[in-house]
A and B are shown apart, each in its own frame.
Chain A
Amino acid sequence: MNGQYAALIIALPLVSAFFVPVIKAISKKAVMPFLLLVTLAQVGIAGWVFNEVYTSDKPIIVMAGGWRPPVGINLYIGHFAALFVLIIAVISFFMAYFSIKAVKVEPLDKYAMLFLLLMLGATGMIATGDIFNLFVFMEITAITAYALTAYNKTGEAAEASMKYMILGGIGSSFFLIGIALIYGATGTLNMAQIAQLAGNINPTVAQVGLALLIFGLAVEAELFPLNAWAPDAYQAAPHPITVMFSAFVVKAGLYAAARLLYLMQAVSTWHSVLRLLVIMAVLTVVVAEFSALRQRDVKRMIAYSSISQVGMIAFALALGSQAGVDAGVFHMVNHAIVKALLFLGVGYVGIKLGGTTLEDFEGLGRRMPLTAFAITVGSLSAVGIPLFNIFWSKVRIMLAGVSAGYTWGVALILGASVVEAVYYLRLIHRIWFAGGGERLSESFALGAIMLFLVALILVIGFYPNYAWSLAQKAGADIFDVTRYVSNVPLMGVGA
């Protein structure tokens, strides 16, 4: 099949989302199964794309409208994008199923549309090769996220959405200013061409432009102190949406930031930007871990934990070394799996027991053993216990961090990890060794999903070779800018 058919990863969710009103007009009950079907199809396409990219070892360049970049917009589905598009699709598929169980608030058809568009937005952010197109997809993601955060229509949900919106709005405005600067200086919007020209830009313009772009993305990527919206949004959003936020929406922002960062390596102040990002990332980890420590609401606690892990990824990505980027990508993958599992488990508990406060988790080991087991495995993995997947990526990050000269950063992150261990282990104790209750029946399919994720965690934990090789390739895709530029068939306009 022609590589251009990879455009389907964008087209399919879009056309399906537009089709939902029609389905609804036919039968309201068909909406959620339709959602499931579409996400399954998306998994198929993403799997094909993944296979294509990794067997040929070459990125797929989708040229929209047949225009070669920089004239047209291109999608760059390299190793990283292929990997993450697959992860997005798989997680969305799981969450589509979870939504059937979890989301009871009307109108479900709108939910389905927004769900698909959130998936689309993240996919687009990761796949695109054009800086303004990145902005558009970022906004698609963000606005869907605003809507979905408030979807439960409670006061808290609306409040969280409002915070997200105001902060996101400021962020995106400044991102756009950054685009204006970069465009004004280079006359192009194509990332590869910007990378080529980055060295020749007026240094002030480049510095401010890069800073503003990163600022805008950092809001999405939950870096301290720009992450104040995140815990609220995580807590208030419907459970499947929280999973999606944590598993890939943030990752898309992070990836975009990293991509832009490495593309603009030639900018003279590049290293200072890196240092600033490292500081922010470390602070993110520390503040988030401490905030999680005495949290009463488990969902919020895991949200903070997620933020801190994201900070760790940002730290790795901002190290400016191949090892760091590889480690960061590896951590992204692991974190996506683990946090999907955790939020899924916690969300399921929330549905079954009607709340996610710490008290609800007492005796969970007896009431919902399967879910409790899944949450336990996820927690242990998040703590970084060996033979679970995060251990490997954490070690990688630490090694890369010190090698890049950020010993203090690594020390602080490790210190914060101790705090993380404390609250997760307290949770585990509460689940298994405190309280009790009657056994509740657990959904078979959700159990299967959780066990699948648990198995992934353990497989990567025991034998990370394959996952690591994927992460390495994906990391090289981000880090190796020369290859990126040479892979994009630039027309040579004006250059």
Chain B
Amino acid sequence: MVSVLKRSLAIITLLIIGYWIAQAFAGVPFGQDKMLVGQYYLNNVKAQTGAVNAVTAVVVNYRGFDTLGEVTVLFIASTGVGALLWKRKKERTARTEGSIVLTTGTRYLFPFVLIFGAYIFIHGHLTPGGGFPGGATIATGFLLLYMAFIVYEIPHKGFEVAEGLVGMGYVIVGLIGLMIGGYFLFDWIWQTWQLGTNNIGRLLSGGFIPVIYTIIGLKVGTELSGIIDNMIKEEVRE
């Protein structure tokens, strides 16, 4: 009875809240052009950043600060999971190998998955995608390895250091911008050095977007792999 009451109360409450939010969104009509800053981005993205993909330009360049935060959030997640699931000694406890299809497939696919991931983040300024999907794709490769082989482990020491170093790399890129251009996260490659101005729409353009996306891709890849590693392994009592 209590449960029914609770459910019905919840439903009534939620419907009222939903109605309230919905009537507010009625004031933000769907499908209309409400752009203000967005239009500026669209108008100037090519000239100012060298990227064709406006989303990427916004993410990495115009609103680079958000992305720095985003990377940090992921870093926190990986660190946090590492901290919480930390044990003096951990190892994998899976008892069965993956099926032959899985193991074989993994063996052949793994390099391609990595390459595809790299492709995604390197071409972030041109096509949909970017560092995060790319990194996630790379992590998928490692997940495949975990699923296929019971003994496999990522080299966590190395991954951790790499994670830290690439993270630092991002900030250092930003600090170089501060030194060269006078602003933190300033796109010195595009705006000061003006590299690839003739190449808009091709790979070697977009200022530091590909650089940063590479960093992010590597970082996301290692972090997500680390999270998987942490969650899969269990404590060994001696």
Q: Interface on A for B, CB 8 Å cutoff?
A: 2, 4-5, 7, 10-11, 14-15, 17-22, 24-25, 62-67, 70-73, 106-107, 110-111, 113-114, 117, 120, 124, 128, 130, 132-133, 136-137, 139-140, 143-144, 146-147, 150-151, 153, 158, 177, 180-181, 184-190, 202, 204-205, 207-209, 212, 493-495
Contact = CB atoms under 8 A, between A and B. Distances in A.
A139 B76 CA distance: 10
A373 B227 CA distance: 45
Contact of A209 (B24, B63, B68, B178): B24
Interface string B12-26: 000000001101111
Nearest to A62: B184
Contact of A205 (B24, B76, B79, B83): B24
A65 B186 contact: yes
A153 B84 contact: yes
B84 A151 contact: yes
Interface in B68-104: 68-70, 72-73, 75-77, 79-80, 82-84, 86, 88
Contacts of A106: 86, 88
B196 interface: no
Nearest to A147: B80
A10 B77 CA distance: 19
A71 B160 contact: no
Given A14-B72, A72-B63, A136-B69, A147 B164 contact: no
Contact of A65 (B24, B70, B73, B187): B187
Contacts of A21: 160-161, 163-165
A71 B41 contact: yes
B112 interface: no
Contact of B185 (A2, A65, A188, A209): A65
B15 to A, nearest CB: 16
Given A66-B191, A185-B28, A143 B70 contact: no
Contact of B183 (A64, A120, A144, A212): A64
Nearest to A23: B164
A106 B34 CA distance: 51
Given A18-B168, A73-B66, A147-B84, A204 B41 contact: no
B34 A184 contact: yes
Given A15-B167, A17-B72, A143-B77, 5 more contacts: A15-B168, A110-B79, A185-B28, A187-B36, A493-B40
Contacts of B34: 184-185, 187
B111 interface: no
A209 B20 CA distance: 11
Nearest to A117: B76
A409 B190 CA distance: 57
B81 to A, nearest CB: 8
A63 B183 contact: yes
A32 to B, nearest CB: 15
Contacts of A146: 80
A202 B38 CA distance: 20
A21 B164 CA distance: 6
Interface stretch (B116-124, B130-138, B144-152, B169-177): B169-177
A117 B72 contact: yes
Contact of A11 (B20, B82, B175, B181): B175
A158 B23 CA distance: 38
Q: Which 3 A-B pairs have the closest CB atoms?
A: A187-B36, A147-B80, A18-B167
Contacts of A143: 73, 76-77, 80
Nearest to B20: A208
Nearest to A207: B24
A193 to B, nearest CB: 8
The binding surface of chain B is classed by DSSP as: helix
Interface of B: 20-21, 23-28, 34-41, 61-66, 68-70, 72-73, 75-77, 79-80, 82-84, 86, 88, 157, 160-161, 163-165, 167-168, 171-172, 174-175, 177-178, 181-187, 191
Given A110-B86, A136-B73, A73 B63 contact: yes
Contacts, number: 203
B215 to A, nearest CB: 11
**Residue among B37, B38, B40, B88 with the highest chain A CB neighbour number at 10 A:** B37
The binding surface of chain A is classed by DSSP as: helix
A63 B65 CA distance: 10
Contacts of B40: 71, 493-494
Contacts of A70: 36-37
A433 B56 CA distance: 66
Contacts of B62: 65, 67, 71-73
Given A73-B63, A208-B21, A133 B69 contact: yes
B27 A140 contact: no
A204 B70 CA distance: 31
B20 to A, nearest CB: 7
A114 B80 contact: yes
A153 B65 CA distance: 32
7 contacts: A4-B184, A5-B178, A110-B79, A114-B83, A204-B23, A208-B21, A495-B36
A189 B37 contact: yes
Nearest to A25: B161
Contacts of B80: 110, 114, 143-144, 146-147
A182 to B, nearest CB: 9
Contacts of B24: 181, 204-205, 207-209
